[in-house]
Structure 1
Amino acid sequence: MTPQVAKFVREINQRLPAYGSVQGASEDLRSFMQDVMGPLSAENEANLAEAMRLVEASLQSVEILRRNSLVKVRQDWYSGPSSVDPHWAALKGYLLNEKGWGEDSVRSIDEASTEVVSLLANPGEGQFRCRGLVVGYVQSGKTANMTGVIAKAVDAGYNLIVIFGGVTNKLRAQTQRRLQSDIVDRHRHLWQLYTTPADDGDFIRPPNNGQFTMPVPGRAQLVVMKKEGTRLKAFLDAVEHTPATVLRSLKTLIIDDECDQASVNAGRKEYDITEINRAIRKIIRALPAVSYVGYTATPFANVFINPFPVSKDELDDLYPEDFITALERPEGYFGAREVFGFDPDDADRDEGQSAGRDMVRAIPAKEVALLRSVHSSKTFQPKVTPALERALIWFLLTCALRRRRGHGTSHMTMLVHTSQLVAQHENMAVEIRAWLSQNSDALSAGHGAIWQTAVDVWEDETSRVRPERTETVSVIDLLPLLVEAIQALEVVVENGVSDKRLDYTGAPKTYIVVGGSVLARGLTLEGLCVSFFLRTSKQYDTLLQMGRWFGFRHGYADLPRLWSTQDLIANFRALAHIEEEIRQDISEYKLRKATPQEFAVKVRAIPGLAITSAAKMRYARKTSISFEGKHIQTIRFDHLKDGIVLDNWAAAAHLVDAAHAKGIYEEGRGVFKDVPIEAVRQFLNSYDICRAHLDLKREMLLNYLDVAADKLSKWNVAVVSPREGVLSSKPLGFLGAVHTSVRSRLAEPSEYADVKALMSKRDILVDVDDRQMQKGEEWRALKSRRPDKPLLLIYPIEARSEPKNGGKARVALGAVDDLIGFGIVFPGELDRAGAYWAVELDVPTPEQLEDDGELEEELVDV
């Protein structure tokens, strides 16, 4: 392929989403070139024809095989387990009969694991190298999917299973125990183990001449190891000392758990390959038949790996070029939707459901300094503050209630994570033990000031979240069970140097766990119900992984609570949306008919937060800044700042007058049609968007308006005002006083007001003739009924805005004056709003690869 043909191929592929056919995309490219260069030369016509042929061929070599995945065409070798497969049948029976999983949950694992196995290379082939990525949810049962994949892969012919089980002994041992109990112990005679569940049971060179043994038909070999340099080197040594006849018989499945951690090259330059990344790449290179699958809930680093590294033929990198698949949200999963809410269909009638369950408690800023040291001080003595005291009491009460609900044989855990400093973990544990010693007798006896606090906590918390089951329970009813919980309680420290470790392998435990980074990734805290969390991070992946409070809460989904800082809560709300966008991006593969090497997953940027570490972003490039097909809305307001509130109202009043003067006013609807973009731009330039809007910035909007000015030259503008309600305190331009909408705010103490949602679905049809909505009609379907014209919606909001229901998820807005919010519905096909980052997918030409090789040699020589 010549450089010119390669360029034409890229241009056609970029146009494909808009035109849907190679012919249409090619004609658009030809038209563009003719506008710039005049009639095409015979050479360019030939190059364009060759590029069309190559693109059409590439599309024919891509096939959508499964619901959530996109892969390159290959032999359709696996359609699911057979009735005689021993490992999956045993695992399925174990999940149903021993672990008590429901039929629906097991069916979900069955379907998802079958999909992943079908994406692997066929172990019946002599040589293969497959690389993929599986994206799950934090604490969502990724291990269950992995066990299903392993069982079915072994049944299908894979005979060497290698698990990279985290970067700590604790995580590795936890993974090994899980695999042994779920799979190996079902048919122990069919497995050869190179590692054990002990903390020191990691991989070492095998005793038989330091090599792997010839696989026995129907049996499999298992390695569960840390991602640590010496262990990986030992494994590579074993592979390199294994005779070629044995290697050719090994069909290896490598599963890299938490594959965004340590596996991705984080060297400052591409040539500075980090030790673990280099070791994994060498292992894959040394094995003649290997499928490598990374599992993660935070794939940011993995989708930014360079797909075309220098000297790829010599040492390949870990970009998931064969497939990326997203696991479906499991039934019964307790995640961001439950904790942080969702966008309602009707903001006017939202009774607080969109706020999520009222489970998040903001730690007052004045208490933070008493809980953690600003400096790395070993002598700092944290305090049990009022917020921590309420969290401790609520945990004890939940333990009592769960015992009443029949969960006495289950583990129950509270997480306290206030500092990254090891010394502070023990200091905090000492304070919590002292608090328990001081208050346990009074709580057990049901008297004194601390008991009254417990009564207040019980009444407050049970009134804020609807009980999961119908039961009338008073705090007095729980007193005997509260005594049991206190007697069973252990306060343990879990960090890299602690002696006494968490142990969920025996009798049921009631734990308060104080810890650090080891609790922020991978480690499962069984029965986690209460989290008191202060640690923060400036990186998406670290923040999401810290969400240990997500997971499955069967029988007590009404009880979990999270105490954290307001900033961390706000960041999590924004990240919950970005996480869903990535999953939508992965699902777009099948719509665009592209492989992971042809269509890069995009990740939206949030000002002030890094997506992942800078080294892992080395090949990420800023991509589209577009609002095409998007709807946006202001949901956060500086409601207590007089100047901003008054100026924003004045900006809206000026817009209304300008729209009246320059557009066509339809009084019955409150709609101004064909308003020039200049009036809209002036409004947006004058409007002060709250800084807490992490994903909506004025500069983004204005830049997009300038870039897309030609197709956004005329706007429809509507004032969304109810027919009844409180009149505004000031006139809104020539309209005078208008009825204001009620938008109460989330009950979280902060300097700004978060109303969660401003727009309702019906609002986006305010300027069209057919405004009848079908039940369940989605935003995208409604937008398709709109004219090809942007719509600006202005919302006057009542200053007081009392919540419409009596719940505690929302409180009165309490603004200094009436507010102005706005929403915009942009025309066009749905892209993604704001600044995005994606890896560069331009395939290097042979000439470029040669040049890069020369550059590498020069650097090595130096």
Structure 2
Amino acid sequence: MTVNKIENQRNFTSALISALSILPEPPTRDEVRRRARELACVFGYDDPLESVIEDALVAVDSRMGAGVSLVDVEADHDDQWIDKRGDIDWIYSDAYQAYLKKEQLHPTVVQSLSDVATKILGHLQDPKSDGKWDRRGLVIGHVQSGKTANYMGVIAKAADAGYKFIIVIAGIHNNLRKQTQGRIDEGFVGRSSDPEDRKKVGVGLLRDYPHPATLTNVHDDFSKRTANQSGWKINDLNKPTVLVIKKNVSTLKSLHDWLKEMNAQADGLITDVPMLMIDDEADNASINTNKPELDPTKTNAMLRKILGLFAKSCYVGYTATPFANIFINPDSYDDEAYEELFPRDFIVSLDAPNTYFGPEKVFIDDSSSARIVRPILDCEDYLPLSHRKDDEPIELPPSLYAAIDQFIVARAIRNLRGQINKHCSMMINVSRFVAVQQRVRNFVSIYEKKLREAVKANYAMPDSVSQKNDIMGALKSCLETEYSDCGFIWPDIKGALNDVFGNLQIFVVNSSSDEALDYKKYERDGSSLTAIAIGGLSLSRGLTIEGLTVSYMYRNTRMYDTLMQMGRWFGYRSGFEDLCRVHLSPDSINWYGHIAEASEELRQQIKAMRRDGMSPKQFGLYVKAHPERLLITAANKMRAGERVIVNQNFTGRIVESYILPVNKKINEENEQLIKKYWRNKFGCTGLEDTGKGWLARDVEISEIEAFLMAFRSHPDFTDRKNAAISYLSALSEKYTTGDVLILSVSANGEDAANYILGPQERSSAGHNGDTWRISKDRVASRGDEKLGLSELQKDEAVKIARKDGQDKNPSDYHFRSVRKKPLLMIHVLRPVGRDANARVPAFGLSFPPGDYQTEVEVVANQVWIERMQGASFDTPDEEDDYD
């Protein structure tokens, strides 16, 4: 395929999207197809149109909300300074918007990105302001959702407004820094920073573009030596200067020393040079490691020292996993490193576009999750979660070979859909050790060669011949079991298989590898890349894997930030979302669901606190008391056997007994307890039929507390139950009553006359002795919390959801907020796939949002922490060959 062919399709798609954007109403598929055919005649475009039509349909249907900001309302700052100045010429910003449109983004999405960037710029200081000032902020995005596009828009607008020195900190790995430098080159600098090829790129292709300066390039990070060789000072420049550097202590120290020696005045400050620091993957400064060059304390201190050199500075952290940032002590100060990086001035929670393929689709929505996610059940026998660097696998698990088959078939389908000129990738992440990754690569290479040879020999043969080959039989079986509704039948797929291998490459991506996963190189050569990427941490943070279709990850971590960032499969999957498969251990599937729920609740709290006019500091204090804090911070602070006492806050959350006993006697006693309270209507005059059980309104809080105290929990859940009861008791002056929902499935043996509930079926996240843990740690079904609400309350929930930028049905959080009182939910559960007669009572206690100042003490012991996080932590250590 020639370079012109790829460029022609890209340009034609952009032209079609622009033509469709002026229509008064969103077009139908038939309308897009008609317009594409008309435009193809004008352009002389004779390639297949289906892929172009699909991209255009996604573009015209893409929408993105404005997000929500928490700001320090007491600070002396005017967010409207941009409008009041009136002298800003948006040269860089306009060029960036034009570039995004050429990259096939619909004009409405480009405008949305611009509006959000303008809002964030308003939270920064006016660079023309006199005196000494600094601002600290945080932008919370979604994994693989376009955070880079957002902060590039902010950089462009900041440069237009007068920020002269811009530092972008791009994670801790060379490949991520190089990737970010390339994007900055295209979206802002306008010229390739490759010293061997300084051609114009991206925005630089526009006429008379004023190229900013850069002190780094795609090959080289910042160094004091190369900066000194340039011989200039930042005060000498009449245009913005940008640097893209790693979050590495030595690199940051080199930059600090150069700035201080070459640019600081007699008082040690750099004046009249407004500086903006963008800290991508901002939470990664807190990584748990003993490597000195990655030491979080030293890294954090160097960032603060660099900021402290400038009389005028703004720091904006970007992350999708904000827990660590919010835990920063907002009052921390150091005489040398100055003020901490806590986002005291603003926190912005970005909305993901409606076309985003994120945790909701992959882990929360049961129907889409069942299609996408596949449990890995056989890896432990081949490559256990806990292994050493010298453990050599003698073979790969059958499930990994099956995943490779899926990838090959999916690529064939994508080619048949007209996506032959688009990248397609598979990720394999099964070990943190470089040596083990190389051994995995060897096995994958051997299998890929067998696949290639089998396909080459059989793809053009009749089935009577080809199906005698085991590999061809496996590929056909893969189509039937995984992709039977893809729109193509086996003869179509078989005929397309050989083309899959034309540009298939296998890469090992780690700190020791010299194999660059460089998609741009293939684009420059006029071809797309079909890649199998094998790695560990280098695949887990920030690095974009283009066209990721099949993922296979078997790793042992439950740390929120680490696990969420490993989700490279999130992003945008135009035209092939139905082909995506994610292979994970059952434990990881459970934890992703748990984290996705917790992260979404955190975003909802930001919106609720915004409505209440609260500040980032108040939000920080709330999150410090968030129940999930123990999962993130406590393991690093606890000594063996130690118990930790922390203050916790459950506002806006639901506490559910997802760890349950399988002891028949205990469960029977709990059922008798439910009958007793049900028969007495929880002290109320009557119960309301909800269609899925019964509701008791305005039950005395003391009655709910008495029921929970008598309910026998699993020993491992007792601490959590007691904390929830204590919190309920602490709120009893505000809420004198709550509601009780008794849930039942009538078709499952319900007998209301005898107070017997029909059990709800729940899948298992694991059975261990006398313990049953529910999948995704969720007892209630989604939507249960709306039961018993009036139509007026449901309408109110819809309105709040829409205010939150949620067009679809309200979440349980929204239903929780309109009830405006605690809710006890009572269930009887049946484990799927186990004893068909098992009956396991469970409960959930839901608290309305808004009680941010109420906290209770919670005691957590080492057993609880290890159960929640895993006893063997998959985190960086001192071994030289750790990736």
Q: Give the structure-2-normalised TM-score.
A: 0.73
1:698 aligns with 2:721: yes
Provide the rounded CA distance (Å) in 2 between the counterparts of 1:780 and 1:200.
45
Q: 1:565 to 1:520 in 2, by over 3 A?
A: same
Provide the rounded CA distance (Å) in 2 between the counterparts of 1:705 and 1:123.
48
Secondary structure of the 2:347 match is: strand
Aligned-residue offset at 1:265:
11
Secondary structure of the 1:457 match is: helix
Tell me what 1:359 maps to.
Answer: 372
Tell me what 1:504 maps to.
Answer: 519
Tell me what 1:111 maps to.
Answer: 115
Determine which of 820, 837, 847 is the counterpart of 1:816: 837
How is 1:213-362 mapped onto 2 (pairs within 5 angstroms)?
213-217=234-238, 219-243=239-263, 247-262=270-285, 274-311=297-334, 315-342=338-365, 352-353=366-367, 356=369, 358-362=371-375
Judge conservation of contact 2:67–2:351 (CA < 8 Å) in 1. Answer: no
Secondary structure of the 1:242 match is: helix
Identity of aligned residues (%): 27
Aligned-residue offset at 1:67:
4.4
Judge conservation of contact 2:224–2:258 (CA < 8 Å) in 1. Answer: no
Aligned-residue offset at 1:315:
2.0
Q: 1:569 to 1:688 in 2, by over 3 A?
A: farther
Determine which of 219, 224, 232 is the counterpart of 1:198: 219
Tell me what 1:740 maps to.
Answer: 758
Tell me what 2:32 maps to.
Answer: none
Q: 1:179 to 1:676 in 2, by over 3 A?
A: closer
Determine which of 503, 510, 514 is the counterpart of 1:495: 510
**Higher mean C-alpha deviation, range 444-453 or range 327-336:** 444-453
Aligned-residue offset at 1:826:
4.9
Tell me what 1:168 maps to.
Answer: 173
Secondary structure of the 2:256 match is: helix
Q: 1:358 to 1:216 in 2, by over 3 A?
A: same
Secondary structure of the 2:616 match is: coil
Give the letter aligned to residue 108 of structure 2.
D
Provide the rounded CA distance (Å) in 2 between the counterparts of 1:105 and 1:674.
46
Give the letter aligned to residue 740 of structure 1.
G
1:437 aligns with 2:449: yes
1:207 aligns with 2:228: yes
Tell me what 1:651 maps to.
Answer: 673
Tell me what 1:758 maps to.
Answer: 780
Provide the rounded CA distance (Å) in 2 between the counterparts of 1:238 and 1:648.
69
Aligned-residue offset at 1:175:
0.9
Q: 1:320 to 1:605 in 2, by over 3 A?
A: same
1:70 aligns with 2:71: yes
How is 1:507-522 mapped onto 2 (pairs within 5 angstroms)?
507=522, 508-522=528-542
Q: 1:243 to 1:166 in 2, by over 3 A?
A: closer
The superposition leaves residues 583-633 of structure 1 with CA deviations (integer Å, 9 ceiling, x where unpaired) of 23333443343432354251533497334874799xx99434445x65555
Secondary structure of the 1:568 match is: helix
Provide the rounded CA distance (Å) in 1 between the counterparts of 2:540 and 2:638.
20
Q: 1:692 to 1:440 in 2, by over 3 A?
A: farther
1:477 aligns with 2:479: no
Tell me what 1:426 maps to.
Answer: 438
Provide the rounded CA distance (Å) in 2 between the counterparts of 1:774 and 1:505.
49
Q: 1:256 to 1:819 in 2, by over 3 A?
A: same
Aligned-residue offset at 1:418:
0.7
Tell me what 2:10 maps to.
Answer: none
The superposition leaves residues 11-64 of structure 1 with CA deviations (integer Å, 9 ceiling, x where unpaired) of xxxxxxxxxxxxxxxxxxxxxxxxxxxxxxxxxxxxxxxxxxxxxxxxxxxxxx
Judge conservation of contact 1:672–1:717 (CA < 8 Å) in 2. Answer: yes
Aligned-residue offset at 1:197:
0.8
Q: 1:612 to 1:783 in 2, by over 3 A?
A: closer
Judge conservation of contact 1:135–1:325 (CA < 8 Å) in 2. Answer: yes
Judge conservation of contact 2:438–2:508 (CA < 8 Å) in 1. Answer: yes
Secondary structure of the 2:583 match is: strand
Judge conservation of contact 1:239–1:287 (CA < 8 Å) in 2. Answer: no
Judge conservation of contact 2:409–2:478 (CA < 8 Å) in 1. Answer: no
Secondary structure of the 2:318 match is: strand
Aligned-residue offset at 1:110:
1.0
Aligned-residue offset at 1:815:
3.7
Give the letter aligned to residue 473 of structure 2.
Q
Provide the rounded CA distance (Å) in 2 between the counterparts of 1:88 and 1:785.
41
Secondary structure of the 2:496 match is: helix
Q: Which has the higher helix share?
A: 2
Tell me what 2:35 maps to.
Answer: none
Secondary structure of the 2:576 match is: coil
Tell me what 1:349 maps to.
Answer: none
Q: 1:612 to 1:435 in 2, by over 3 A?
A: farther
The superposition leaves residues 490-519 of structure 1 with CA deviations (integer Å, 9 ceiling, x where unpaired) of 111111111222111222211111111111
Give the letter aligned to residue 363 of structure 1.
I
How is 1:548-697 mapped onto 2 (pairs within 5 angstroms)?
548-600=568-620, 601-602=622-623, 604-606=626-628, 609-611=631-633, 614=636, 622-626=646-650, 642-643=664-665, 645-657=667-679, 659=680, 664-666=685-687, 680-681=704-705, 683-687=707-711, 697=720
**Higher mean C-alpha deviation, range 149-158 or range 471-480:** 471-480
Judge conservation of contact 2:88–2:161 (CA < 8 Å) in 1. Answer: no
Judge conservation of contact 1:267–1:274 (CA < 8 Å) in 2. Answer: no
Provide the rounded CA distance (Å) in 1 between the counterparts of 2:306 and 2:478.
55
**Higher mean C-alpha deviation, range 817-826 or range 429-438:** 817-826
Provide the rounded CA distance (Å) in 1 between the counterparts of 2:227 and 2:785.
68
Determine which of 104, 128, 133 is the counterpart of 1:128: 133
Q: 1:81 to 1:688 in 2, by over 3 A?
A: farther
The superposition leaves residues 619-672 of structure 1 with CA deviations (integer Å, 9 ceiling, x where unpaired) of x99434445x6555566766x764554444333234334x25965445878566
Judge conservation of contact 1:589–1:599 (CA < 8 Å) in 2. Answer: yes
Secondary structure of the 2:71 match is: strand
Secondary structure of the 2:601 match is: helix
How many residues in Structure 1 have an aligned counterpart in Structure 2? 727
Aligned-residue offset at 1:106:
1.2
Aligned-residue offset at 1:90:
1.3
Provide the rounded CA distance (Å) in 1 between the counterparts of 2:715 and 2:586.
14
Judge conservation of contact 1:266–1:615 (CA < 8 Å) in 2. Answer: no
Tell me what 1:102 maps to.
Answer: 106
Give the letter aligned to residue 93 of structure 1.
A
Provide the rounded CA distance (Å) in 1 between the counterparts of 2:476 and 2:647.
54
The superposition leaves residues 72-128 of structure 1 with CA deviations (integer Å, 9 ceiling, x where unpaired) of 34233224999952211111111112x111223212211211111111111112332
Secondary structure of the 1:740 match is: coil
Q: 1:405 to 1:202 in 2, by over 3 A?
A: farther
Aligned-residue offset at 1:296:
1.2
Give the letter aligned to residue 90 of structure 1.
A
Aligned-residue offset at 1:220:
1.4
Judge conservation of contact 2:385–2:554 (CA < 8 Å) in 1. Answer: no
Provide the rounded CA distance (Å) in 1 between the counterparts of 2:793 and 2:82.
48
Determine which of 356, 365, 388 is the counterpart of 2:400: 388
The superposition leaves residues 425-471 of structure 1 with CA deviations (integer Å, 9 ceiling, x where unpaired) of 001111111222234333452432333322232222236xxx6xxx6
Aligned-residue offset at 1:136:
1.0
Q: 1:503 to 1:613 in 2, by over 3 A?
A: farther
Judge conservation of contact 2:794–2:815 (CA < 8 Å) in 1. Answer: no
The superposition leaves residues 569-591 of structure 1 with CA deviations (integer Å, 9 ceiling, x where unpaired) of 11111111221222233334433
Judge conservation of contact 1:663–1:673 (CA < 8 Å) in 2. Answer: yes
Aligned-residue offset at 1:316:
2.2
